[in-house]
């Protein structure tokens, strides 16, 4: 859909000093502004008025509850976390030309970590992008991210993905447990094979 109006892009960071930019957010005030169809921008000292009833898109990470009066005026749409195929497109948009082997191993490691039960904070899309940026800067090879290396419990530069000590220990313990399970299964398969040979003889 094309809208024949000027578009202004405003990049906001956590260090921004802006009063608006939705870092200073009051749902009740926003509700009044929507009802009046106007809002004041402190930075530009402009009062913005809408000729038609505006449609406002608000994203939420479910960390903060919004008032019922506000939610009654909203149409809720849940966006699932991107699957691997969708995430691949997102990463390629940020890192065009990224080697397929590194992309595949990075996504595999990323989703393995996200699948660990009990994580206090699962790594997000932005953290995956930060991690890949570090992997490229440090020239980390794809094979260093593979899960079949029993000596490496979690992938390199994992501080971009895991943001608290509890989650780091949780991932390390799960990897160590999986490693012991693999070692334990090895001899068992060998004994079974031996029995099969003896029976065949």
Each residue's pLDDT tens digit, 171-191: 988 866 665 554 444 444 443
**Residue range 30-44, pLDDT digits in tens:** 777 778 888 887 777
CA-based diameter of the chain, in Å? 91
pLDDT, mean of residues 106-125: 94
Check pLDDT > 80 for residue 168: yes
pLDDT, mean of residues 62-86: 85
Mean model confidence pLDDT for the chain: 78
User: In sequence order, which residues have a C-beta less than 8 Å from that of residue 163 and are 6 or more positions away?
Assistant: 121, 127
Check pLDDT > 70 for residue 136: yes
Check pLDDT > 70 for residue 193: no
Phi, psi of 8 (to 5 degrees): -115, 125
pLDDT band at 21 (very low <50, low <70, confident <90, very high): low
Check pLDDT > 60 for residue 152: no
Could you tell me what percent of the chain has a pLDDT over 90? 40
Higher pLDDT, 190 or 124: 124
pLDDT band at 11 (very low <50, low <70, confident <90, very high): low
Higher pLDDT, 69 or 1: 69
Can you give the pLDDT at residue 201? 31
């Amino acid at each position: 859909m094309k809208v024949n109006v000027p578009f202004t892009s405003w990049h906001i960071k956590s260090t921004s000093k802006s009063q608006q930019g939705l870092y200073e957010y009051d749902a009740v005030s926003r509700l009044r502004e929507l009802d009046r169809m106007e809002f004041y921008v402190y930075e530009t000292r402009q009062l913005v008025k809408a000729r038609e009833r505006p449609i406002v898109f608000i994203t939420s990470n479910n960390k903060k509850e919004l008032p019922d009066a506000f939610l009654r005026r909203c149409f809720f749409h849940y966006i699932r976390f991107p699957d691997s195929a969708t995430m691949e497109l997102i990463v390629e948009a940020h890192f065009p030309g990224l080697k397929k082997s590194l992309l595949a191993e990075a996504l595999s490691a990323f989703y393995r970590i996200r699948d660990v039960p009990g994580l206090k904070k699962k790594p997000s899309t932005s953290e995956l992008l930060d991690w890949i940026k570090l992997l490229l800067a440090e020239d980390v090879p794809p094979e260093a991210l593979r899960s079949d290396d029993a000596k490496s419990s979690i992938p390199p530069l994992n501080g971009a993905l895991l943001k608290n000590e509890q989650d780091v220990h949780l991932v390390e313990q799960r990897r160590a447990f999986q490693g012991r399970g693999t070692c334990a299964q090895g001899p068992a398969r060998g004994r079974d094979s031996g029995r099969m040979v003896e029976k065949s003889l």
